[in-house]
Amino acid sequence: MASDDTLELYHGDRHVGRLHDAQPLRFEYASAWLEHPEAVSLSPSLPLSQQVQVGDAVLAYFENLLPEGDLRRHLELRHHTTTVFGLLKAIGGDTASVFTLLPPGETPAPPHYRPISWEALAEHLRHRERGPLLSQQSEEARISLAGAQDKLLLMVQADGSPAIPEGSAPSSHILKPDIQGLRGVWASAINETFCMQLAAELGLDVAEASYQPDTHACLVRRYDRAPDEQGRLRRLHQLDFCQLAGTPSLIKYESDGGPGLARCRELMQQVGAPAKDLQRLIAWCFFNLLIGNNDSHAKNLAILYTEEGPRLAPFYDLMSTTLYSGLARRFAFRINGEDHPGSIERSHLEALARSMRFQPRYFVKQGLELAERMPAAIDATLTTLSAEAQQGTEQTLLERLQQRLLSNCRKLPERWVVGR
């Protein structure tokens, strides 16, 4: 029997289970879902079972669906709730996964979108002092996307025009304007677009990203959405590595007790990710070192459940954070105990390789080859992106980014080559 202190979980129009507002949170699968031949569990730590599930695994899965940081605090004030359940009740309609959370009595409705122009969105962005973008979407929109960075969820239609998802309608893209309110951070949207496109140029398999000139924002196509036979969006199941590890979003950094790189490899093997994805994990680590992305924590990795099986998801949230003096100087992961990128030497990398059960020579070679290929990829990416950077600050950012990354490509591998 459903009540106001429950939320119903759906996979498309199929009832999956029920989340109970209790301390601690409780979740139970629906009998019909357990009997369905295509039933999947929410996560490995919440297996399909008739038993009511309770404890850290339930909290970790559902809490990681919510935004983080100042964005979550703003939503708490707006919706007068500080609990995971309360926030999911307010905004849990379009989560970063295949599942939809709806209040009792509601069932999944046909998706509806409100057309809008890029110019109108640009005007909307100019009035962001009213609060974070996610909290300004239509009162009818119930959207929940993890991450601390402000963003707007959109449907980009076939003609390239945007529309606002209403209710629990799925979004196709994420619009990420320049970060505001962080000292010394500027032109972050062109920074992220460049780093995402650079990764694509290097063949790293990333979410598709472009620079949206009207809004001066990074526009990212969601990889966890795909068109179905009718041309509508179909949600795909994914789990970030905090959900896989059963840790809340507050414990996403290794220094706080979150998953380290060796643990990330274990998680990938436990879900059955193929060997080629383990190689992609190595490339991701070195790419973040080379671009100076010190915010490359475990929540920025995910497993995407495809028709071929579990795969390491396309990479996302790639940005050169060291370009900004006010952001962290330490790498998000420890490389055999060392988290200052300029102090990481071959011996650290070889020790990390052994802890991850890779051949040290093979491991280090991946980083050296990536550094060797990166300057040409930087030039190719700049050629494409410079034409879209209309403002002086954007051009300045790209110039400084080019200088910093080329310097990293020279200096960091010098320490990776010689053992000390």
Question: Could you tell me the two tokens for 106?
Answer: 């509601």
User: 408-414 — which CB contacts under 8 Å span 24+ positions?
Assistant: 408/289, 408/290, 408/291, 408/292, 408/371, 409/290, 409/371, 409/372, 409/374, 409/375, 411/342, 412/289, 412/290, 412/341, 412/342, 412/344, 412/371, 413/367, 413/368, 413/371, 413/372
Cα–Cα distance between 58 and 56 in angstroms, integer?
5
Q: Is the peptide bond before 37 cis (omega within 30 degrees of 0)?
A: no
Beta-bridged to residue 67, according to DSSP, are 147
- C-alpha distances out from residue 40 to 55, 77, 242, 319, Å: 20, 35, 19, 33
Cα–Cα distance between 401 and 393 in angstroms, integer?
A: 12
Q: Find residue 303's DSSP bridge partners.
A: 239, 312
The residues annotated as belonging to the active site are 295
Report how far apart the first and last C-alpha atoms of the chain are (Å, whole number).
Answer: 65
Q: Can you tell me which residue has the tokens 């998000």?
A: 332
